[in-house]
Amino acid sequence: MTKYAALAVAALLVGLDQWIKAWAAIGLTHRIAVIPGLFYLTYLENTGAAFGIFQGQTLALAIVSMVILAALLALLLSGKIVDRLAIWGLALILSGGVGNLIDRLARGFVIDYLDFSALFGFPIFNLADCLVVIGTALVIIYIIFFENKKAAPEDGEEDELSKDGQAGENL
């Protein structure tokens, strides 16, 4: 059930991402200071990937994105991932990837608009990028702290092998 809820939220996030980008394409005609000297809304057409790498490689980026997104979707639907943290992380990566893929296929570029460059010199980015980063962070946290971690047997309990060498009942 969690995977379907996560996929439904992912679809809503793709819709929100596309709605914001449609607004930016039409209404963001000049740089808007949200917090002067720190945060601006700035319209940018990005034909590359993160940090402006692979500029002009829209088709190659779209193909790679489709392969990765198909693999993520298959993994989510396979039932092999059951931990909620991992499911939500993958769903966020999927939603951000789909949001930017739609831009690449429909426009030939990704619309970026979140601008912290005045203070940090950081590249302009968008909601989809945020979703990919947050999702990746959740998956990394899952892998580091939760994957393949089993509770140690408490004092007096037998571990995976019973005294007679047979597998325990809790396997």
Give me the active site residues, please: 112, 129
Per DSSP, the residues of the chain read -HHHHHHHHHHHHHHHHHHHHHHHHHH--S-EEEETTTEEEEEEEE-SSGGGTTTT-HHHHHHHHHHHHHHHHHHHHHT----HHHHHHHHHHHHHHHHHHHHHHHHSSEEEEEE-HHHH-PPPB-HHHHHHHHHHHHHHHHHHHTTT--PPPPTT---SB-TTSSBPTT-
